[in-house]
Chains A and B, each alone.
Chain A
Amino acid sequence: MGWGSEQERGQATVEWVGLVLGVALALGAVVAGGREAAKGESSAGLGGAVAERITCAVRDGCGGERALGAPGGASRAPRAAPGAPRGPRAPRGGPRAPRAAPGRRPSPPPAARSAPALRRTSGGSPLLRGAGELAKHAWIACFGYRRWRYEVEHPRTPRQSVPVGDAVDMVNECLNPLSFFFG
């Protein structure tokens, strides 16, 4: 078997690789942008922060002053010094920081939240809450396990998709309580 093998099994197309890279970029930006937006005032800044992070990753820049916690650097790329010529990489028309609309109130600071909300988030035994959270997120592993089992039992090329009925069966086996009681 040489390089000119005609088998398509195990090979990924350029489109799939590009799609995976794009999704990875978007997810990384969501993580970074979400952290930045969480530092800010409201969740409305998440979209702008994500767009900014993607732009920064593509332009390979934006500096590190925001990561270092520079004050007033909310979702803005570094500005050129006054009088300095604008380079070709100046952020023209790029994503901007979300401004508060005239009729919209900014979200209250964490200290101004209601007491019941604080009680809800701070109460309860940590062990019990941790176990509950762990159990609540374990079902995701079921999808991965079922999908892996399906792949082992039904080998297919990357271009072949899983039939809808089989996908529904996987979801049903993982989330339907009846499948656990009577399955």
Chain B
Amino acid sequence: MMRRLQRVFAVAWGVVAAGAGLGFVARDLLGLPPGAVALAWTAGAVLVLAAMRRSSV
């Protein structure tokens, strides 16, 4: 139970952190418009989800 909970929180934090990372690059460093920033955030979240999914199978 605790292991599953830990896994869920790790995935959630990874998604938020990766989305924030790419979002920061797009918004603050590149100065992209809001739509592109949202896309970058989603791309970061999907990237981490895919990496975690591949590494867990």
B38 and A136 contact, CB distance less than 8 A: no
- B contact residues around A124 at 8 Å (CB): 51, 54-55
Asked whether, in the complex, the Cβ of A128 is within 8 Å of the Cβ of B57, the reply is no
124-183 of chain A: CB within 8 A of chain B: 124-125, 128-129, 131-139, 141-142, 145-146, 174-175, 177, 180-183
Q: Are B18 and A136 in contact (CB under 8 A)?
A: yes
Residue in contact with B16 in the complex, picked from A120, A137, A141, A175, CB distance below 8 Å: A175
Task: Give the CA-CA distance A93 to B38 in the complex, in Å.
Answer: 57
Shortest C-beta distance, A78 to chain B (Å), equals 41
B52: chain A residues at CB < 8 Å are 132
Once A and B bind, how many residue pairs between them come within 8 Å at the CB atom?
A: 92
**Smallest CB–CB gap between B23 and chain A, Å?**
4
A139 adjacent to B54 (CB under 8 Å): no
Q: A123-B55, A128-B47, A181-B41 are in contact. Are A174 and B18 (CB under 8 A)?
A: no
Given A128-B50, A129-B55, A142-B24: A135 and B41 within 8 A (CB)?
Answer: no
- In the complex, are the beta carbons of A139 and B28 less than 8 A apart? no
B47's partner among A121, A131, A137, A180 (CB-CB below 8 A) is A131
Which residues of A sit under 8 angstroms from B54, Cβ to Cβ?
Answer: 123-125, 128-129
Which residue from chain A places its CB closest to the CB of B24 in the assembled complex?
A142
Question: Is the pair B18, A135 in contact by a Cβ cutoff of 8 Å?
Answer: yes
Select one of A131, A135, A145 contacting B28, CB under 8 A: A145
Complex contact A139–B17 (CB within 8 A): yes
B55–A145 CB distance below 8 A: no
Determine the chain A residues whose CB is within 8 A of the CB of B34 once the complex forms: 181-183
Q: A135-B21, A174-B24 are in contact. List 7 more A-B contacts (CB 8 A).
A: A128-B47, A131-B51, A132-B18, A132-B52, A136-B17, A180-B19, A181-B37
Can you report 6 A-B residue pairs in the complex whose CB atoms are below 8 A from each other?
A: A120-B56, A121-B55, A132-B48, A141-B24, A180-B20, A180-B40
